[in-house]
Amino acid sequence: MNAPVKTPAAIPFDVARLDRLMEEAGMDVLVATSKHNVQYLLGGHRAFFFDYMDAMGVSRYLPIAIYVKGAPDKAAYFGHRLENFQRENNPFWTPVQVCNSSGSLDTVEKAVAHIRKVGAGTRGIGVELAFLPADAADALRAAFPGSAVKDALFVLERMRAIKTPQELKMLKIASEAVLDSMKSVIAKHKPGATKAELTEALRREETNRGLTFEYCLITAGSSLNRAPSDQIWGEGDILSLDSGGNYHGYIGDICRMAIHGEPDAELQDMLGDIEEIQRASMKPIKAGVMGSEVYAAGETRLARSKYHNNMHFLAHGMGLVSHEAPRLTATGPVPYDDYDAHRPLEAGMVVSVETTLAHPKRGFVKLEDTVIVTPAGHEVYGEGARGWNRGGTAA
């Protein structure tokens, strides 16, 4: 008996919004080549075979999603032959979907032929300059010598800035799974475990909860070094776990603290200060509030802390990428232009807020939270375990 024929998915993004952004940027056609933006434009597709490695010996994997302004009927996707298995299970929405390429030049040549065939305007061609190999970029420019090749990073970032309910669901799953993984690792390890062992244990916990483990920034004791190592988490030592794990590409990124033993009054005071800064920065977050108010609230409370000389506050957007829109500062520890500081936040935006104390004697103390902008306020994903979690408590 033949399997039922599956129909292509609906267009997963706001077409009118993309058309407007492209018009403002002077782009007639969009050529997306990063894994995260291809995933976004196709509504979730990500080539499983190339999730960790692009190289194929003589070239590299290069997915290309094409969108023609005002003409979704001319959209196309060009990928590797192994993606046909996924396409059979979940057809793409694009009218043209050809998965038989084997390298960067092979794919871009197909993309050029398609743009010519559908008669797309090429006054401005939007590409991801940071995600386009040099050979493919040269071929694209040679094919359209009279065209302006423009960076599409901003256009695509603005599209991803407002998450759909399905995207938010995946972010919530990722955040809660990272938190549960941290709680499990802390509880299961008594004094004597190394930072490398703790990191590996966290990787297994996140993987067992359906996440793809990405990283763990980890400190122990009074050291400020955040890389996994043979350093031991000993009796009386504090521990910070700052980890990112993704669920179908969407990042769960939080930081929590732990200790072997009981925290003294100073440690309680430090983490309490950080908690107050976090809550102060979250308080103004809701749709319609200017993005700059997040920083104003967090930094105002930080300035009153007795530990302010060794502290910093950071707020940034996140989703398929750990640092994306909304962009809230041009002067913070991870600066970019502050485009969203001067504009109102919108429902569906996601803001990661983090307060760090790098104390020269007591060590590294930090909280990081994922905050969702809602019409009437905000919601925190992965809310628990905000105090001093005790290590080695599991039976």
Residues 6+ apart with CB under 8 A from 153: 128, 129, 130
In-domain check, residue 183: yes
Q: Token pair for residue 48?
A: 């499983």
Stretch 181-197: mean pLDDT: 98
Bridge partners of 124, per DSSP, are 148
Q: Is residue 5 part of a domain?
A: no
Which residue blocks in the chain are alpha helix, DSSP H? 15-25, 35-42, 84-89, 104-117, 134-143, 153-161, 165-188, 195-208, 265-282, 292-303
**246 domain residue, yes or no:** yes
Give the integer Cα–Cα distance in Å for 112 and 307.
Answer: 57
Euclidean distance between CA atoms 152 and 91, whole angstroms: 26
Which of 116, 141, 161 is at the close of a domain?
Answer: 161
Residues 142, 214, single domain; the answer is no
1 — pLDDT class (breaks 50, 70, 90): very low
User: What is the model's pLDDT at position 335?
Assistant: 73
Block residue for tokens 């190999």: 133
Q: Return the CATH number at 123.
A: 3.40.350.10
Residues 306 and 157 in one domain: no
Token duo for residue 340: 């969203």
Instruction: Name the domain boundary from 124, 140, 161.
Output: 161
Statement to judge: residues 116 and 241 lie in one domain: no
Same domain, 200 and 136: no
Q: pLDDT tens for residues 255-303?
A: 999 999 999 999 999 999 999 999 999 999 999 999 999 999 999 999 9
Domain boundary at 113, 144, 161, which? 161
pLDDT band with cut points at 50, 70 and 90 for residue 215: very high
In a domain, 7, yes or no: no
For residue 252, tell me if it sits in a domain.
Answer: yes
Q: What is the pLDDT of residue 7?
A: 60
Q: How many domains does the chain have?
A: 2
Looking at the fold, whether 137 and 177 belong to one and the same domain comes out as no
pLDDT-wise least confident of 7-21, 37-51, 263-277, 293-307: 7-21
CA-CA-CA-CA torsion for 302, 306, 311, 315, nearest 10 degrees? -10
294/235 Cα distance (integer angstroms): 38
The answer on 199 and 223 residing in a single domain is: yes
At 364, list the tokens. 């590294």
Domain carrying residue 386: 165-390
* Domain harbouring 350, CATH code: 3.90.230.10
Instruction: Please check whether residue 261 lies inside any domain of the structure.
Output: yes
